[in-house]
Structure 1
Amino acid sequence: MGNNHPSASSEEIAKVRATLEERGIKRVLVGGADVHGQFRAKFIPAWRFAKDPAAPIHISDVIAILDIEDEMIPRPAGYEGWWPTWDSGFEDMECVPDLSTFTPVPWIEDGAMVLVDFRDHGGRPVRALPRNVLRNVVDRATGLGFTPRMAGEYEFFVFRETAKTAREKGFRDLATLGEGATMYGGERAHADLGLIGAMEQACESIGIKIEAAVTEGGPSQYELNLTPQSALRAADEGFLFKFVVKRMAESLGHTATFIPKLGAGGFGSSMHAHQSLWAGERNVFFDAKAPHGLSVTARQYAAGMMRTLREFTAVYAPFVLSYKRFEGGAETAAGSKVTWAVDNRTTAVRAVCGPEAHTRLELRTPGADANSYLAFAAMLAGGLWGIENDIDPGEPYIGNAYADPAVDTVPATLGEALELFEQSEVANKYFGEDVVRYYTETRRWEVEQFNSAVTDWELGRYFGNV
């Protein structure tokens, strides 16, 4: 992908400078998402940022090979693609502020925040990093005459624990917000309003609107729904939403986690993604004369997401633990069945039909641990592939797909999912072979770390019995 996103306009720069002065901003958090979805950033003094708000900030490319616990991942044997190392000196990347994302942040003392696009010294996007991956696929949609709109529904657990006390307990028997699970529980929602309200208010303060908040099916579990936005904005909001939720929970002496599964049985945490394609003011997924009001384009998009579901599962479920969420069938509601339906939550792809403005497709497979940029890029890539190749999804499924052994399921392990992803024609075409190789190797590292670990379960089961 070339450098086809121009730098900020003089009007944007003037607006940022005025906001810095009017709001008394003293520091700006400048950064973005790494491959795991972690926030990699710097605080820049406002006086420096104001000199040229569009100027690149430099961050070492070491962030691209840090694992989720900040251990450096060594270059894989035989790997020839882009991979920062000590041999290259861990060069700086140019982190170019996207001033459309600049916002004061009331809950950061005298602070503001802006997201960046990671580029190399030649000004070219670092293709493997998540925001650039999504930009690339969105550009493809734009070239076809479509504007993708997306919205995420994010589930998470909150506990009356600090990070320290949770770790001391081994992350077991944590103090929940209430006793048991109360799905759609009005009393529980009211009781927790101080916490959830703080999260909503913090989101609103940086321009993220919360459409609904609901107690979920797991103990101490919530779901907050974001509003439809352009694909890149929706991914930015999903990324920042996690940042807000964790920080607000911490400020109140709690801990929030987007871990996909806490234990055997019961619900995990998902990221349900709603999407549609627009041409100007027209939702191209809607056709009043078609069955269910779904256009041919919507059906093709649904078919593409469905047919590429297994090969993109490594993106929707990026960690070893992610696959525990798919175990148990209907009781987990994890979108593990590879089929589509109309308003049926037992299938991976769910068509939501209604007036033109609300007609959309929902993908239920991604876990809450998914990187919103990469997950949105994967589903958009699958959908566009379905459109470009005129794929038909067949008739929508009727019944309980979880109870139907004839319906295929997503891969059972991250290792299996990676094999499918690496070989995927669609992933290699729409993401780029270099991006697929890089992402695959970062996930293989996760598998290797798990395989080399000795767990409490293994010690307890085998120590005295072998």
Structure 2
Amino acid sequence: MSRMQARDIKTADDARRIVEERGLSHVKVGMFDIDGVMLGKYMRRDKFFAALESGFSFCDVVLGWDSKDELYDNVSFTGWHTGYPDAPLTIVPDSCRDLPSEGEDMLLFLAEFDGPASDICPRGLLKRVLARAREMGFEVCGSLEYEFFMFQETPESIREKGFRDLKPLTPDMMGYSMLRSSVHSELYHELLALSEAMDFPIEGLHTETGPGVLEAAIAVDDALAAGDKGALFKTFTKVWAQRRGLMATFMAKWSPDYPGQSGHIHLSLRDIASGKSAFFDPEGPYRMSAIQRHFVAGQQKLMPEWLAMFAPTINSYTRLIPGFWAPTDATWGVENRTTALRVIPGSDKSQRVEYRLGSADANPYLALSAAIAAGLCGIEQRLEPDAQVKGNAYELDHPEHQALPRTLWDAAQRLKASSEARQWLGDAFVEHFAATREWEERQFRRAITDWELDRYFEII
């Protein structure tokens, strides 16, 4: 009998069999929190088998603290007022993956929250949105592409330097450089091999404009799998880099001297009944069907209200400025990279829309959920988009209703006030996520920046 392969696992019985076949004493189990940070632990074999049958529990503080393990003081779901109880989780058997960095036999499984915690679980949110899509007769296909900067630094060295004077992997602005990718081909090959082994296959990898910056496009899949692949790609690219004495960052903008880092989302719908693209109409303008037009209109309408899900950190908003390849208003265009939404004409297979607003620091599950739900809302309401932008969107004046919030606080207020967000994402999620973004802003307001010291310390 041939050896079982991790990505062939579909059921709890399959998961049990592969662990037994490989003689593993432990497996690794992880989940993603509200910021898209992967958390988890090693789980002993007998505990894992029991969890396959009846689930397991994890302290719900992982949904009640921020990316620095500081406790939120403004969320109702959990806190000192609840005593931080355990929350139930379910193992996802078909998420099984090999972990090449931990030997040829080690396995990783994803888990998702169950019970009340499922209302704010990022993966659970995406599943609910996709269930709504199926009820409307659509399957959703998606892919994510990320820009990330690489440094010749370690977690220790960046802190010793106070995050200043960091040494990029390579110098200068050399986008699409064959020189850079050839000189460092071993690193590229290792990352490509990792992406295949862990099933987040990279279909394109190249340098972008900036010292040490790369862009990776992950292959298209159904939208839930795309969320898993994006989240795992970000986590294990960082793992891969640090194991080699390097660091990768996905923060939206690490330096004012260079463009920010995007997390673009490509989406299309397929009609379940016919199996054909719901976006493709060979007779329509730009081959856009009415369904795609309504989808784009929903994304455009709700972009200002749902911005916090695509730009979830204080740093995200330093990227959203004119002339740095990031949109500043809820605009759309055909094959226009200055707009927030880029319609890409193609065939039944390739007709799609690219949501260019997203930052690399966004939680992949939440960004996908929002991009898809907004489009479905547009279909449901039969919305029509504003006139498309032709030419440079940065140089044009746009209607006031297309303006995006300029701060995380303002974005959180718009999300809380959005009736469509509550309808499509749920009251529990909207209240919790908006509160976490308000917390993030309040934490920032306590900080004294280098800019303030330089500007005011002596002269004022």
- TM-score normalized by structure 2? 0.94
1:418 partnered with 2:412:
yes
Match of 2:206 among 210, 214, 236: 214
User: Post-superposition shift, 1:255?
Assistant: 0.6
- Note the alpha carbon deviations across 1:375-399, whole angstroms, 9 max, x for none: 1111111101110011111443211
Match of 1:131 among 123, 131, 145: 123
Q: In structure 2, what is the Cα distance between the partners aligned to 1:212 and 1:367?
A: 19
- Matches for 1:205-284 after TM superposition, within 5 Å: 205-280=197-272, 281-284=275-278
User: Post-superposition shift, 1:155?
Assistant: 0.9
- Matches for 1:239-388 after TM superposition, within 5 Å: 239-280=231-272, 281-327=275-321, 329-330=322-323, 332-388=324-380
Q: Is the 8 A contact 1:55 1:97 kept in 2?
A: no
Q: Is the 8 A contact 1:211 1:226 kept in 2?
A: yes
RMSD: 1.7
Q: Secondary structure at the match of 2:291?
A: helix
Q: Is the 8 A contact 1:54 1:98 kept in 2?
A: no
How much identity, in percent, do the aligned residues show? 34
Q: In structure 2, what is the Cα distance between the partners aligned to 1:130 and 1:229?
A: 18
Q: In structure 2, what is the Cα distance between the partners aligned to 1:240 and 1:404?
A: 38
Match of 2:142 among 146, 150, 163: 150
1:102 partnered with 2:96:
yes
Q: In structure 2, what is the Cα distance between the partners aligned to 1:335 and 1:46?
A: 48
Q: Which runs of 5 or more structure 1 residues have no equivalent in the other structure?
A: 1-9
User: Post-superposition shift, 1:461?
Assistant: 2.0
Match of 1:191 among 135, 159, 183: 183
User: Post-superposition shift, 1:51?
Assistant: 5.2
User: Post-superposition shift, 1:350?
Assistant: 0.4
Match of 1:116 among 111, 121, 129: 111
Q: In structure 2, what is the Cα distance between the partners aligned to 1:234 and 1:201?
A: 18
- Note the alpha carbon deviations across 1:175-195, whole angstroms, 9 max, x for none: 112121211111112222222
User: What is the letter of the counterpart of residue 113 of structure 1?
Assistant: L
Q: Secondary structure at the match of 2:431?
A: helix
User: Post-superposition shift, 1:337?
Assistant: 2.8
Q: In structure 2, what is the Cα distance between the partners aligned to 1:11 and 1:39?
A: 22
Q: Is the 8 A contact 1:29 1:44 kept in 2?
A: yes
Match of 2:3 in 1: none
User: Post-superposition shift, 1:401?
Assistant: 0.4
Q: Which moved more, 1:283-292 or 1:165-174?
A: 165-174
- Note the alpha carbon deviations across 1:287-336, whole angstroms, 9 max, x for none: 11111111000010011101111111111000111100012x12x11132
For residues 27 and 343 of structure 1, do their structure 2 counterparts lie closer, same or farther at Cα, with a shift above 3 Å needed? Answer: same
Match of 1:436 in 2: 430
Q: In structure 2, what is the Cα distance between the partners aligned to 1:295 and 1:449?
A: 45
User: Post-superposition shift, 1:217?
Assistant: 1.3
Q: Is the 8 A contact 1:28 1:46 kept in 2?
A: yes
Q: In structure 2, what is the Cα distance between the partners aligned to 1:27 and 1:287?
A: 51
User: Post-superposition shift, 1:108?
Assistant: 2.2
Q: In structure 2, what is the Cα distance between the partners aligned to 1:65 and 1:174?
A: 32
- Note the alpha carbon deviations across 1:393-438, whole angstroms, 9 max, x for none: 1443211101113354422111111121111121111011221111
Q: In structure 2, what is the Cα distance between the partners aligned to 1:404 and 1:200?
A: 40
Q: Is the 8 A contact 1:343 1:351 kept in 2?
A: yes
Q: Is the 8 A contact 1:54 1:99 kept in 2?
A: no
User: What is the letter of the counterpart of residue 37 of structure 1?
Assistant: G
Q: In structure 2, what is the Cα distance between the partners aligned to 1:365 and 1:71?
A: 28
User: Post-superposition shift, 1:257?
Assistant: 0.7
- TM-score normalized by structure 1? 0.92
Match of 1:6 in 2: none
Q: Which moved more, 1:206-215 or 1:83-92?
A: 83-92
Match of 2:6 in 1: none
Q: In structure 1, what is the Cα distance between the partners aligned to 2:14 and 2:199?
A: 16
Q: In structure 2, what is the Cα distance between the partners aligned to 1:247 and 1:204?
A: 16
